Homo-oligomer: A and B are copies of this chain.
């Protein structure tokens, strides 16, 4: 069968299934989720058998050790997948939530009801656990899903899909509610992102290259997560002990994550005092520093190039710039940030207020580590990704980000005059 009709059939079935899912009760959705988790635990041997096929093929293709590690379904990862699904079952169901019901002068009652978006396409790379995570979040939010994982995980993804579909069946929900694309042909992606009749939104999860390509070519909305070039600004009115703790945590708590700080901005009035303390602390952590001229005059470090200000290191490297006040800090952020997360350390209320209001990023913080920008930390329970978009969903996208709101009107016979 050719790819176009294969994907269109899948899309048509997803659209059909989305109606059953939209009206599924919370109980049915939770029954399905718990059955999926149980099936995943019970299928450990099969999952690992299929995963071995992917690992063997990966070794043959010469995938590097880090990629092979991400691909492996260890006992711990299989258990984590099952637990993740159970956590989603425990989250409150967003669907049907009515807010802001109010009477209007015409006598009608107006409110908004949270509803599923419809059909969500997920395109992702390597880690097979995304299959389970994304399927669980989409199901709980009442959406049908089409999942398209990387070709290097095709056997693992299909094995996980069978567990998921067993869960759907256990709850009497259509198995077409969650479908996995079973071809590695790249044309499948091209088709998936250009079927507005069947797919309402695309969520790509993977490297910047993948996401940019999909955004360029998609004919449906894309909830995208590009890079995380996050900043911490230490203001002249900062508590310097707090500033040191936040600057170290934001950089060193984990290096390979999108909410880690990549550039530190320091007000010139406190640079001479705080930078030597920080240099010592970063030295102990093995972080390489790259500074502007003023930074280099205070602490020993490499020179930062123009490119450094626009780089997401995802590594123990930090660029540092000395600035004159909050305006220069915000100007630097405007020019170089990826609009993910920025934080200011200050005790001065008016400066904090300006930073909160004027910095145009998905999360803006005062006196807290950028590492908090995360679905779990924000109490969303889980996240499908962190959006760097400006419309629909910004920042960590949980169940609400996979829903929309429609207007509802209750009357008792009102007509327009």
Contacts and interface: CB of A to CB of B under 8 A. Distances in A.
Interface stretch (A3-11, A29-37, A360-368): A360-368
A394 interface: yes
Range class of the A interface residue count: 35 or more
A95 B298 CA distance: 41
Given A113-B364, A248-B415, A368-B413, 9 more contacts: A22-B358, A200-B391, A221-B392, A364-B408, A364-B409, A368-B415, A390-B404, A395-B406, A396-B407
Given A104-B377, A113-B356, A358-B23, A246 B413 contact: yes
A382 to B, nearest CB: 15
A368 B104 contact: no
Interface in A63-112: 96, 104, 106, 108, 110
A116 B408 CA distance: 26
A309 B396 CA distance: 41
A372 B200 contact: no
A371 interface: yes
A367 B413 contact: yes
Contact of A391 (B246, B356, B366, B404): B404
Contacts of A40: none
Contacts of A249: 415-416
Main secondary structure of the interface of A (DSSP, over half): mixed
Given A104-B377, A356-B113, A404 B394 contact: yes
B358 A253 contact: no
A209 interface: no
Interface in A371-410: 371-373, 377-379, 389-392, 394-396, 404-410
Interface string A112-142: 0101011000000000000000000000000
A306 interface: no
Contacts of A404: 390-391, 394
Contact of A394 (B334, B363, B407): B407
Interface in A235-249: 239, 242, 245-246, 248-249
